[in-house]
């Protein structure tokens, strides 16, 4: 919906307008409001209303008509105009003129940039296209500016395939092995839950709209329990906080099952009708009495018993999982263990019972039509794991060129020293599509100015709710910025790729996204017209999706024993898998480090927005008073955090937010804005999870010392 209205003079009503001169009327500011969607990697996927005056976006607000946004945005995106009109926006194509990583660039024309990029990529594409790597993720989450024309382009080229694992693939595979997809409760129904376990999530920071729903439930008498190694802002506001050790969530879930089983607090009918593998799970859970789990998790056995009692007796009981739980070696198993809980108690029978980690599998968009995987015919195209990009870039002969869009791997990928070394290779040709000169852009041969969300069309699904949103451009692209899609259209022309599928326009791509057979056949399909009018629509999702079973697994049931994992030669029953790096006090690196995002950043986005960075202050390491005292640290002093992979300098914040033996390195600062030109990923490893080939950001042993 575009609402056009004239504000003749600020705060002037129609009667005064009649008294205005013709000139004044002509010069009066034209104000429009445009509906959009937040593109950031956040489960809330808010509906945005951008107010534009004379072609300039003057404010971005939450859409009050979208029930889940409810007129409210987080602090970060409320400042979206500050980000859009930031003085450091890249507004012209830039060519490197200094050493890689130096950030020395000169402005060039689009024609020169695209001609030269085509001249560099074409010879590689003719001989070994599989050595061209696209690297992208969720810096901008839209389906069109993400993987539509870009994916078609790389598929036609025969480029390497990117294994998109950096954030959610361990949990995603766990969901697929258990429920048959990224499926779960509808988030709005948490308002009616009576017990909510907020597990591995600092919702106040990372899902503020879920937190509002949880608060509503609390007002109606619900008990909120936070399960998180860190005493987060969310933990402060819950009725109870269980501060388990990082990477021990599966042990806790198995002990809860132990209690449900030994006290017969099971829904036998639901188990019998809608699950497979109960006996094997039962045998595994009986190995985990609360005392054993308490020792592994660093909890009190009585607290585990009480939680199991509450979970069985306070109904409806719901679990909001987030991806923190799966950032350790056993992350996939941990997610699977938690996913089993609502099937055991039959919590799914109520719409306010069950669990959600991601609900994106409920969406009925046509990703295949957008991405056209059938265009890839190069049988030699390797699958390159984005989480081990450091190793990949340093493997001789594997990658000759990288095209980065919607991502900042130099800041966000683990084991930065190797990532930086790889991107610094003189023989690597790197193109980065960006808004700002990020750590990755500094290593590019060409930086191409990309549009922000206010400047382009897109379609957005959510992983936290089950609505679909349309993003309309609110303003013209700034400077010479182009949409990602347009950049790939023009690059393909320069490279002699004249396939018509590379020239489809953005509005057509948005419409195409809705062309999913199940959407078209649904009784109430999501239509383009409805999205144009309202900005959002609901995918057809049952209120209690698994009340009658119907899990889309091979068995049609909730797979407590996963047949797909067994087929892969893995243990089909969830278990606790200890961390790669589970430190002991006598170890050389005795502290377990986790690195959740700082409150005012979203991964590495927003770090360069001054007002948000001012709120964060500077890079911090939370350390428990006992661990600080053992190292004679004082609050606020600079420390060195280190392990065999590298060293990171930041300020110590002595706080009980960290538990003894654990430190919290709040992320993800841009390296060049950090104290010694590094960030927390200098310390993280390229080890992977048990499922999904994902990184283990929260499974990292370090030592801390004063920097004096």
Q: Which C-beta is closer to ligand SF4: that of 208 or that of 501?
A: 208
User: Closest separation between CB of residue 65 and ligand SF4, Å?
Assistant: 15
> Left, alpha or beta for 200 (phi > 0: left; psi -120 to 50: alpha)?
left
CB of 62 to ligand SF4, least distance (A): 7
Does the footprint of ligand SF4 cover residue 566 (CB under 6 A)?
no
Shortest CB 129 distance to ligand SF4, Å: 36
**Alpha carbon distance 296, 450 (integer Å):** 48
3-state secondary structure of 354: strand
Q: Which of 8, 33, 44, 89 binds ligand SF4 (CB under 6 A)?
A: 44
The SS3 of residue 317 is strand
Residue 469 interacting with ligand SF4 (CB under 6 A): no
Quick one: which H or E segment has residue 61? strand 56-62
Instruction: Give min distance, CB of 149 to ligand SF4, in A.
Output: 24
Residue (215 or 394) nearer to ligand SF4, CB: 215
Measured from the CB of residue 206, what is the shortest distance to ligand SF4 in angstroms?
Answer: 8
Structure tokens at 485: 């899609």
In a 3-state reduction of DSSP, which class is residue 690?
coil
Q: What residues numbered 322-351 form the site for ligand SF4, per CB under 6 A?
A: none
Please report whether residue 581 would count as binding ligand SF4 according to CB under 6 A: no
The helix/strand/coil state of 490 is helix
Kindly list the distances between the CA atom of residue 236 and the CA atoms of 211, 287, 317, 408, 601, in Å, as whole numbers in the listed order: 13, 32, 21, 32, 20
CA dist 702 and 678 (Å) reads 15
Show the binding pattern over residues 10-39: x = contacts ligand SF4 (CB under 6 A), - = does not.
Answer: ----------------------------x-
Residue 208 near ligand SF4 by CB under 6 A: yes
* Residue placing its CB nearer to ligand SF4 in the complex, 39 or 619: 39
Of 78 and 564, which has the nearer Cβ to ligand SF4? 78
- Contact stretch for ligand SF4 (CB under 6 A) within 41-49, 196-204, 287-295, 695-703: 41-49
Q: Is 213 in the site for ligand SF4 (CB under 6 A)?
A: no
Residues touching ligand SF4: how many (CB under 6 A)? Answer: 12
Angle (CA) 197 202 204, round 5°: 105
Burial class for 388, CB neighbours closer than 10 Å (0-12, 13-18, 19+):
buried
Please name every residue paired with 650 in a beta bridge, in sequence order, or none if there are none: 639
Q: Which of 680, 415, 702, 699 is nearest to 582 (CA)?
A: 699
Least gap, CB of 59 to ligand SF4 (angstroms):
13
Alpha carbon of 639 to those of 114, 669, 708: distances in Å? 45, 16, 8
Q: Is 599 in the site for ligand SF4 (CB under 6 A)?
A: no
Pick 73 or 160: Cβ nearer ligand SF4:
73
Token look-up 């191409």 returns: 448
Beta carbon nearer to ligand SF4, 76 or 284:
76
Placement of tokens 């959407």 in the chain = 519
Radius of gyration of the chain measured on its C-alpha atoms = 26
Dihedral in degrees, nearest 10, Cα atoms 512, 517, 522, 527: 10
Chosen residue from 34, 35, 46, 257 binding ligand SF4 by CB under 6 A: 46
Q: In the bound complex, what is the minimum distance in angstroms from residue 604's beta carbon to ligand SF4?
A: 14
Residue 169 sits in the site that holds ligand SF4 (CB under 6 A): no
**Any contact of residue 205 with ligand SF4 (CB under 6 A)?**
no
Smaller CB distance to ligand SF4: residue 37 or 502? 37
| C-beta closer to ligand SF4: residue 134 or 464 | 464
8 Å CB contact between 193 and 224: no
Q: Decide: is 40 part of the binding site for ligand SF4 (CB under 6 A).
A: yes
Smallest gap from residue 367 Cβ to ligand SF4 (A): 20
179 vs 463, beta carbon nearer ligand SF4? 463
Q: What gap in Å lies between CA 224 and CA 216, rounded to an integer?
A: 11
Nearest residue (CB) to ligand SF4, 74 versus 166 = 74
- The nearest distance, CB 184 to ligand SF4, in angstroms, is 18
User: Per CB under 6 A, which of residues 221..240 are in contact with ligand SF4?
Assistant: none
Which residue from 42, 133, 281, 658 is in contact with ligand SF4, where contact means CB under 6 A?
Answer: 42
Residue carrying structure tokens 């199991």: 308
Type and span of the H or E element at 177: helix 169-179
Least distance between ligand SF4 and beta carbon 599 (Å): 12
State which residue, 80 or 153, has the beta carbon closest to ligand SF4.
80
Q: Cβ closer to ligand SF4: 36 or 247? A: 36
Cα separation, 355 vs 178, in Å, equals 12
- Single out the residue of 375, 334, 380, 376 nearest to residue 357, CA to CA: 334
Which one of residues 33, 34, 45, 544 is an interface residue with ligand SF4 (CB under 6 A)? Answer: 45
Residues paired with 48 in a beta bridge = 36, 62
In Å, how far from its chain's centre is CA 236? 24
Sheet holding 458-460, edge to edge: 458-460, 467-471, 536-538
Q: CB nearer to ligand SF4: give 371 or 451.
A: 451
Going by C-alpha positions, the residue among 215, 194, 217, 192 that lies closest to residue 203 is: 215
Residue 73 CB, nearest distance to ligand SF4 (Å)? 4
* Residue 24 CB, nearest approach to ligand SF4 (Å): 37
Q: Residue 84 CB, nearest distance to ligand SF4 (Å)?
A: 14
**Interface mask toward ligand SF4 for 57-96; x: CB under 6 A:** ----------------xx-xx-------------------
161 binding ligand SF4? (CB under 6 A): no
Segment holding 417, helix H or strand E: helix 416-423
Nearest distance from residue 667's CB to ligand SF4, in Å? 16
Helices (runs of H) and strands (runs of E) counted in the chain:
27, 28
Q: How far apart are CA 472 and CA 453, in angstroms?
A: 8
Taking the mean position of all CA atoms in its chain, how far away is CA 7?
Answer: 39
Binning the chain into helix, strand and coil, the percentages to the nearest 5 are 35, 20, 45
**Residues contributing to the site for ligand SF4 (CB under 6 A):** 38, 40, 42, 44-46, 73-74, 76-77, 208, 602
């Amino acid at each position: 919906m575009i609402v056009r209205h004239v504000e003749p003079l600020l705060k002037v009503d129609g009667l005064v307008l009649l008294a205005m001169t013709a000139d004044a009327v002509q010069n009066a500011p034209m104000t429009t409001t445009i509906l959009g969607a937040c593109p950031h990697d956040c489960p809330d996927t808010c509906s945005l209303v951008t107010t534009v005056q004379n072609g300039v976006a003057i404010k971005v607000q939450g859409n009050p008509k979208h029930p889940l946004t409810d007129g409210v945005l987080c602090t970060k995106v409320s400042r979206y105009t500050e980000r859009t009109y930031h003085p450091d926006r890249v507004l012209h194509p830039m060519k490197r003129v200094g050493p890689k990583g130096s950030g020395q660039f000169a402005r060039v024309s689009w024609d020169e940039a695209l001609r030269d990029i085509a001249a560099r990529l074409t010879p590689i594409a003719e001989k070994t296209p599989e050595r061209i790597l696209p690297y992208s993720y969720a810096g901008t989450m839209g389906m069109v500016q993400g993987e539509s024309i870009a994916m078609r382009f790389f598929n036609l080229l025969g480029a390497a395939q990117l294994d998109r694992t950096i954030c959610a693939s361990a949990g995603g595979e766990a969901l697929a092995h258990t429920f048959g997809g990224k499926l779960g409760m509808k988030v709005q129904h948490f308002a009616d839950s009576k017990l909510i376990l907020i597990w591995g999530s600092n919702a106040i920071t990372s899902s503020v709209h879920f937190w509002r729903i949880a608060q509503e439930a609390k007002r109606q008498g619900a008990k909120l329990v936070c399960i998180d190694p860190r005493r987060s802002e969310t933990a402060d506001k819950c009725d109870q906080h269980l501060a388990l050790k990082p990477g021990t969530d599966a042990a806790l879930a198995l002990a809860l099952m132990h209690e449900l089983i030994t006290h017969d607090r099971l829904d036998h009918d639901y188990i019998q009708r809608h699950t497979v593998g109960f006996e094997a799970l039962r045998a595994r859970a009986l190995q985990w009495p609360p005392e054993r789990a308490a020792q592994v998790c660093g909890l009190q056995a009585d607290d585990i018993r009480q939680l199991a009692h509450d979970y069985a007796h306070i109904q409806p009981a719901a679990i909001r999982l987030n991806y923190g739980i799966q950032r350790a070696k056993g992350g996939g198993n941990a997610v699977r263990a938690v996913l089993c809980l609502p099937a055991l108690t039959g919590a799914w029978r109520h719409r306010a019972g069950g669990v959600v980690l991601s609900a994106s599998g409920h969406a009925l968009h046509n990703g295949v039509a957008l991405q056209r995987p059938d265009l890839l015919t190069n049988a030699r195209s390797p699958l390159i794991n984005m989480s081990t990009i450091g190793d990949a870039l340093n493997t001789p002969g594997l990658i000759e060129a990288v095209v980065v869009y919607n991502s900042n791997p130099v800041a966000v990928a683990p084991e930065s020293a190797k990532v930086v070394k790889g991107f610094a290779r003189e023989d690597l040709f790197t193109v980065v599509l960006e808004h700002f000169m990020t750590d990755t852009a500094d290593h590019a041969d060409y930086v191409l100015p990309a549009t922000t969300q206010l400047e382009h069309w897109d379609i957005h699904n959510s992983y936290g709710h089950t609505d679909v949103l349309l993003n309309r451009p609110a303003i013209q692209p700034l400077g010479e910025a182009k949409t990602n899609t347009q950049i790939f259209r023009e690059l393909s022309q320069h490279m002699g790729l004249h396939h018509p599928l590379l020239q489809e326009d953005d509005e057509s791509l948005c419409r195409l996204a809705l062309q999913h057979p199940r959407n078209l056949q649904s009784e109430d399909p999501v239509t383009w017209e409805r999205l144009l009018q309202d900005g959002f629509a609901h995918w057809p999702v049952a209120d209690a999706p698994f009340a009658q079973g119907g899990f889309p697994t091979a068995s049609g049931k909730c797979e407590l024993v996963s047949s797909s994992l067994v087929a892969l030669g893995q243990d089909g029953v969830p278990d606790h898998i200890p961390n790669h790096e589970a430190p002991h006090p006598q170890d050389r690196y005795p502290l377990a480090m986790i690195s959740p995002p700082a409150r005012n950043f979203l991964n590495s986005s927003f770090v360069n927005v001054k007002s948000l960075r001012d709120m964060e202050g500077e890079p911090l390491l939370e350390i428990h008073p006992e661990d600080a005292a053992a190292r004679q640290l004082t609050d606020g002093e600079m420390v060195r955090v280190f392990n065999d992979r590298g060293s990171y300098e930041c300020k110590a914040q002595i706080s009980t937010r960290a538990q003894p033996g654990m430190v919290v390195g709040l992320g993800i600062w841009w390296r060049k804005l950090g104290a010694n030109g590094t960030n927390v990923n200098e310390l993280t490893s390229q080890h992977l999870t048990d499922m999904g080939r994902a990184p283990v950001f929260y499974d990292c042993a370090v030592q801390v010392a004063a920097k004096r």
